[in-house]
Amino acid sequence: MLLEGKAAIVTGAGSGIGAASALRFATEGAGVVCADIRLARAQETVDAIVAAGGRAVAAEADVRSAADNEAMVNLAVQHFGGLYAAFFNAGTIRPGNAVRLSEDDWDVVMDTNVKSIFLGAKFAVPVMADGGGGSIINTASVSGLRGDRSGIAYGASKAAVINLTRCLAVDHARQGIRVNAICPGAIDTPPIKRMLASDTARDGAGRAHPLGRIGQPDEIAAAAVWLASDQSSFVTGEALVVDGGYSAASNPIEMGDPRPQGLRRPPSA
């Protein structure tokens, strides 16, 4: 029970990595605010947690909104007495290069993936500090470490998440707050399922990872729980890569294409 008696927030908790992480946090003893822009999906995750004997409450939240971020934190305090861990996981992607991508799509990606973490920290940090410290985990991506074809906004946003994580870690370490990011490779989430709908595409995605497969949401959840727990008590400002060895390869292939094609990059979580 790595998070016994702790209070946590997980954003994007209605599906994929967020749902798996909320369930894992609760299994490890945390009371979890399951936040999602789709309240019904957040409630499904809460129902699964409660059915398994855990504690959770649903929150409808647009993570681009300061008011919704403040409400999430207040809900954690109201229901669970404080806030120790926050997994700012919600994100979005809009494909396109600098010529084709619209300005509106750029803004949506940057606000959802980057501004949301700034706003989450704005309200989470004071409560964590009052409680003696805590842990913030942000979902970045291997796309924030290297360039993807037609992924200009997503890649830029995830690179920003990584350095925002470092800045938060430096700013708030003396308050007992650790801040880290996770950089997943391709994870078997609903968006990736849609992108890899054919057997050929899925097989190509697996071959792009040295371990021979794409990752599962539970595997990212395990990393998030470790970063939230005292087992990682001397880890802060880190961008933890969880990608099945993808970024270690010198000549990765594009997902969906079984043939090596130079330095093409796959979509990632």
Look-up: residue for tokens 């399922």? 193
Other CB atoms within a 10 A radius of the CB of residue 5 amount to 12
The DSSP symbol for 215 reads B
> Which two tokens mark 2?
């790595």
> Which two tokens mark 35?
């936040």
For 84, left (φ over 0), alpha (ψ -120 to 50), or beta?
alpha
Q: How many Å apart are CA 129 and CA 246, to the nearest integer?
A: 37
Q: φ, ψ for residue 231 (rounded to 5)?
A: -65, -20
Q: Is the dihedral of CA 105, 108, 113, 114 positive or negative?
A: positive
Q: What is the helix (H) or strand (E) element at residue 229, kind and residue range?
A: none
Other CB atoms within a 10 A radius of the CB of residue 261 amount to 11
Q: How many Å apart are CA 59 and CA 89, to the nearest integer?
A: 14
From 80, 87, 88, 154, the catalytic residue = 154
> Which two tokens mark 167?
């800045």
Q: How many Å apart are CA 218 and CA 155, to the nearest integer?
A: 23
Cα separations in angstroms, 153 against 92, 125, 234: 10, 27, 32
| Annotation says 154 is catalytic | yes
**Could you give the residue numbers annotated as active site?**
154
